[in-house]
Amino acid sequence: MSSVMNNELNPHVVLVPIGTRAATVTLPGLHARKKLRIKKVHLLNGAGITADNTNFLQVSLQDLLAVEYATLDTRAANQGAVVANTAKELAKSVGKLATDNSGELEVPALTNLQLVVTKNGTAVPTDATLSIEYYPL
């Protein structure tokens, strides 16, 4: 029996509180001291947001150079509606996927990730939280 711990089976979770915002905001997300893999990113919102091309919410997990790792856009042509108090997974950016076809995002060491929340019209994050599930390599 191996005593080596598999980091992939023991992921960490970072919760980024967004709260309720009436304007576009940039929030600190995660500092990758070592290279890591992001398994999933979810938005939890306290109120529903309908799929609407006028009143929409955009959420982007990106590095400090504005390179996107994961995004959510509630416009009808994109990911659409958000159900209240239900996790909505952000779409992973294809250019940041690991090369082993795992479907996970690879983040280089010493990368700072931030969360950019953009609202348009009446769609606002309400008591919202972003959940980032990851493991170090």
For the stretch 45-103, pLDDT in tens is 999 999 999 999 999 999 999 999 999 999 999 999 999 999 999 999 999 999 999 99
H and E: helices and strands count for the chain:
0, 10
Nearest to 41 by CA among 95, 98, 103, 125: 103
pLDDT above 90: residue 8: no
Task: Please state which architecture CATH assigns to domain 17-136.
Answer: Sandwich (2.60)
Residue 5's pLDDT band (cuts 50, 70, 90) = low
DSSP calls for 30-72: EEESS-EEEEEEEEE-SS-B---SSSEEEEEEEETT--EEEEE
Q: Between residues 49 and 4, which one has the greater pLDDT? A: 49
Q: What is the mean pLDDT of the chain?
A: 94
